[in-house]
Structure 1
Amino acid sequence: MTTRRELAALTSVRGIAAWAVVLYHIRLSADWLPNGLVSMLAKGYLAVDFFFLLSGFVIWMTWADRLRSRGLAELPAFLQKRVARIWPLHAVVLAGGVALALLLAATGRHDAREFPFAELPLHLLLIQNWGFTDALAWNDPAWSISAELGAYLLFPLLALAIDWRRMPAWAVISAIAAGGVLLASIFAAAGAPTLGHEIARLGLIRCVIEFAMGTAVAALWLRWRDRPVLPALSATAVLTLLGTMTITGLIPEALGVPLAFAALLLALALTSGMRGNPLEGRALHYLGEISYATYLGHFLLWFAFKLAFVDDAHAVPPTLTALYLLLVLGSSIALYHLIERPAQRAINAIRLRRPRPA
């Protein structure tokens, strides 16, 4: 079930998605941007939905068979690697947020809505988006990491309960479609018109459902990877249809976007490694490798950058915007090489006592 071959195109797209989130957060501060471009960047929050699907895809390929074959004996290693992947960098960035909040408090500028110290333990434990809070705070993008942790904890149950390999392709596709319908129904019942609404309340279920859809996409890729052309063309056609229907308002965003991204993910995976693939260039691939640092570090950096250099937060000139984007790139490189990777290696080097196989 596992595969050693990296799907380089997916790594590159992860980098593109991370920068879409960066541009989403700064779009309203660049009053010199054309209105049409600002409207397009306003949908950058949807990149998070692609992250959730991609995460389910990768985790299924790597861990589903191992958990099924080895049972509880493999659970400590799974959790260890997941914590090593997401928590150390989160803790460092959160510590930066605490330092920033203390500095603001010392100068009489502390905003309790942005930096509520009473909620800090929840953020440290990455459970802030499990229904314990009413709004995003501290490092806003970390809400999705909190939701990811919830999906990781549920994943062993999914892996033990469902073996996509034993299902016909039509059943797997139907399960993906059912996930999209379920998510759209939940958002409709909650009165949330887009996937970006009610994040504190709906973010966890949004992540879990899309994560599960991603596991099914992985099963389709494993089934079709040796004969990828026709499935890739079919996935592209589905992507085009769903994208058009979503943009024109024929179907709600909460239905169209997850299903369109599932088709996109499948098409990207099937075409990864093909000659001339533009997503497999070295520079783009590197942006994907440092994308977690980009995603997690840019928000508080923007907050601090505006405090230090910006007079009008709604009119940041192009030169300062370019400077900020360069700082995001530089900080991403530093965080990746100095914090993220060394911390992963250190935590993964710890030898855990494993239970006997069930």
Structure 2
Amino acid sequence: MLNSLTSLRFFFAFVVFLSHLTFVKTDLVWYNWLKNNIFFEGYLGVGFFFILSGFVLALNYEKKIIDNPNFDKKKFYIARIARIYPLHVLAFFCMLPFVMINVWKGFFHWYISIVNLFLFQSYIPIKDYYFSINNVSWSISTELFFYIMFPFYVIWLHKFPKLKYILLLIIPIIIFAEPYFKTDLKLEKGIFYINPIVRSFDFILGIIACQIYQKIQKIELNTSKGTLIELASILLLSVFFYFHNDVARAFRYGIYYWIPMLAIILIFALQKGLFSKILQNKVLIYLGEISFSFYMIHMIVIKYGNQYLPKINDFTKVGIYFTIALFFSWLIFEYFEKPIAKWIKTKF
């Protein structure tokens, strides 16, 4: 992956972490403002990951799929499962004590655990299913659907090239239609935030973004111009973010942020400006590499911490949780995630 985009992964994983700090209770006006107006919008980080996933897979595999009719889908699927499933299983078993306690108390049922373990939860628009066990695992369920469909999406976009232009033209139409949009609040999150078919639009946009990137990557830009367009993309995201309270929540789960996220990914992929140069710092790149582990375990740390940590200041808890999650992210990445993925790829 391009180094600047690798580093950005950690920043967006951190945004998701902030969105899960709902346990913090304080009378501090500034913090409550941040929590209500910024932290709760942290689900935009997931949209970034879905679009980036399509972009990165297209960068690595699109040409191979198009040029080779006998592209080895089995090998591709094994590589993708090796990337996400072992860590999901590890997180699942880390949460088993909580599962057993909730089953014993009658708050939970074992069949929900089975659905979660085999990554079917994102297909069921019921909170008890899609946010079960390790809450964030729903996104892995959705991501697995993307992996399964990726070769087909690539072929369809290749066979019907006008399709991508239609999709790009639909974006502003959908956004402008937002004021007339109504939805069932009970199903809203399960359909517009979780459902893999709906979220496939994010993923497909990532594939289209890669096609655009391959056409513009050789554009000559000096550092000053590169910095200006990077700053412009950040400001664009900030403008969209500033007006988010005026937009229906169902749209904010993904659709509303499509344009700024596409701009961020495309422009930072060019790596022409000062901001992308900063993001190529080795420490930031490594944080990006361990961001998947951080994303997958931070809720586990928060749940166990809130359950068993002595009563201390909530802000102290945040610091402890972040430090512990970061440490275990490194540990898991180096001694579990990488070795297991390598072993699976060589054995299968």
How high is the TM-score relative to the length of structure 1?
0.81
CA distance in 1, matches of 2:105, 2:272: 49
CA contact (8 A) 1:52 1:211 kept: yes
Deviations 1:157-191 (A, max 9, x none): 11111139x969xx856633425655887997562
Shift, 1:192, TM fit: 6.8
Deviations 1:106-155 (A, max 9, x none): xx65642xxx4221121111111013644421111111111111111111
Deviations 1:313-348 (A, max 9, x none): xx8433232111110111111111121111100111
Quote the RMSD (CA, aligned, Å). 3.3
Shift, 1:275, TM fit: 9.0
Shift, 1:219, TM fit: 0.8
Matched, 1:140 2:135: yes
Query: Closer, same or farther in 2 for the Cα pair 1:329/1:306, shift >3 Å?
Result: same
Task: Tell me what 1:267 maps to.
Answer: 267
Equivalent AA in structure 2 for residue 124 of structure 1: L
Between the aligned residues of both structures, percent identity stands at 22
Task: Tell me what 2:24 maps to.
Answer: 29
Matched, 1:85 2:73: no
Query: Closer, same or farther in 2 for the Cα pair 1:141/1:157, shift >3 Å?
Result: same
Matches for 1:59-70 after TM superposition, within 5 Å: 59-70=57-68
Query: Closer, same or farther in 2 for the Cα pair 1:276/1:96, shift >3 Å?
Result: closer
CA distance in 2, matches of 1:184, 1:91: 41
Matched, 1:198 2:188: yes
Shift, 1:260, TM fit: 1.1
CA distance in 2, matches of 1:301, 1:187: 39
Task: Tell me what 1:8 maps to.
Answer: 3
CA contact (8 A) 2:178 2:247 kept: no
Higher helix share: 2
Query: Closer, same or farther in 2 for the Cα pair 1:130/1:316, shift >3 Å?
Result: farther
CA distance in 2, matches of 1:89, 1:124: 11
Matched, 1:227 2:219: yes
Shift, 1:303, TM fit: 0.5
Shift, 1:349, TM fit: 0.6
Matched, 1:149 2:144: yes
How high is the TM-score relative to the length of structure 2?
0.83
Shift, 1:57, TM fit: 0.2
2:5 alignment partner, SS class: helix
CA distance in 2, matches of 1:43, 1:7: 26
Equivalent AA in structure 1 for residue 96 of structure 2: V
CA distance in 2, matches of 1:86, 1:183: 32
Q: 1:131 aligns with which of 120, 124, 127?
A: 124
Deviates more, 1:268-277 or 1:90-99: 268-277
CA distance in 2, matches of 1:182, 1:211: 17
Matches for 1:344-355 after TM superposition, within 5 Å: 344-351=341-348
